[in-house]
Structure 1
Amino acid sequence: MTDKIYPIFLLFLCFACSPKLDKETYKKYENSGQEITANVQTVLLSNVGKAIQTGGTEYAVKFCNLEANSIVDSLKGVFDCDISRVSAKNRNPQNALSTGQEKQLWELFANEQLADTVLQNGNDLVYYKPIRTGMPACLKCHGNTETDINAATKAKLNELYPNDLATGYKLNDFRGLWKVEFKRQK
């Protein structure tokens, strides 16, 4: 029990000095974050699915390497916020956890002690939502390297992501976080 309280206490300390969000503001940004991440994930998965249909998982790895970040970036303007993915087990180094706050949040999400959440960062608000390996197709690139990922896909992963940490997952495992940053006027 103590090990579950400790990370929550650390998170509380991180934000104790931030002004509290009222319930209405929290709910507004939580709903916006849920809508945005659902849309972005749908667009991303649709494009990855098309890439798999076009050339299999090896082609999809190449597609993701070239296009996934630009797809997410293109939707930033549509929703007027910054959208990214972060993970302790990242494939793309740009998606690594970059702050102590993100590392603490990772622990809370990994231990299922936190659901979607909105945090205040200065005047801005940041929405986090867990990403899970929700479909069997995810395992063809993120699953067990001995049983789920074929040789050609492994070779492409090794070529494009030599420091890949994003394998070894099972269905419904926690894999990363959507991070949506809302810039608010002062």
Structure 2
Amino acid sequence: MKNKFLPILLMLFCFACSTKMDIETYKKYQKSGKEITANVQTVLLSNVGQAIQTGGPEYAVEFCNLEASSIVDSLNKEFNCNISRVSAKNRNPQNALDTKQEKKMWKLFTEEQLADTVIQSGNELVYYKPIRIGMPACLKCHGNTTDINAATKEKLEELYPADLATGYHLNDFRGLWKVEFEREM
């Protein structure tokens, strides 16, 4: 059941802290989170697209393995926050769901199909937004066995022996953007 008010209810009830987040703060950080994730996604997709053009999907897998984290790290500094991706079906072990909060959010996004939300966690505000398989090119590395060519499969097995991030179809829910902001008091 989709509920457009669930993020607000979540904010008020599930993650209540001694200092409650007001609706203006929620909107401010939701807007910032949307802008940041749109920017990060554009930068990553542009770089991956360029890597595919340069050497095909297998080269893009190698590029992601070597460069994706440093690209996100540089954007962390630019936006003064901590940007990450998390998933139950991760490719990079660093992107595995590893906190109770991430697992709870994963369940909510999976079951309720939320668009995005902001929660308070201690002195931080955390923005979550779903990542979906948005383009057919994504399936060259994240699709079914018929979508991924032999050279790409080999590169994935070499660089990510515990890879869980395949078997997707266009528009499938693949993971969550997670943007952590230190709350301005």
TM-score using structure 1 length: 0.90
Q: Which runs of 4+ in 1 moved over 6 A?
A: 9-13
Give the percent of matched residue pairs that are identical in Structure 1 and Structure 2.
Answer: 79
Single out whichever of 39-48 and 105-114 deviates more from structure 2: 105-114
Distance of aligned partners of 1:177 and 1:114 in 2 relative to their CA distance in 1, 3 Å threshold? same
Shift of 1:100: 1.2
Unaligned runs of 5+ in 1: 2-8
- 2:101 counterpart of 1:98: no
Shift of 1:11: 8.8
Are the equivalent residues in 1 in contact too, given 2:11–2:119 (CA < 8 A)?
no
Distance of aligned partners of 1:56 and 1:118 in 2 relative to their CA distance in 1, 3 Å threshold? same
TM-score using structure 2 length: 0.91
- After superposition, residues 18-97 of structure 1 pair within 5 angstroms as 19-97=19-97
Unaligned runs of 5+ in 2: 2-8
Shift of 1:104: 1.3
- 2:183 counterpart of 1:184: yes
What CA distance in whole angstroms lies between the structure 1 residues aligned with 2:119 and 2:89? 22
RMSD of equivalent CA atoms: 1.8
1:68-91 deviation line (CA, Å, top 9, x unaligned): 011011101110000000000000
What CA distance in whole angstroms lies between the structure 2 residues aligned with 1:10 and 1:178? 17
Are the equivalent residues in 1 in contact too, given 2:142–2:148 (CA < 8 A)?
yes
Distance of aligned partners of 1:13 and 1:173 in 2 relative to their CA distance in 1, 3 Å threshold? same
- How many residue pairs end up in the alignment? 178
Are the equivalent residues in 2 in contact too, given 1:90–1:165 (CA < 8 A)?
yes
Q: In structure 2, what is the equivalent of residue 5 of structure 1?
A: none
Shift of 1:184: 2.3
Shift of 1:111: 2.1
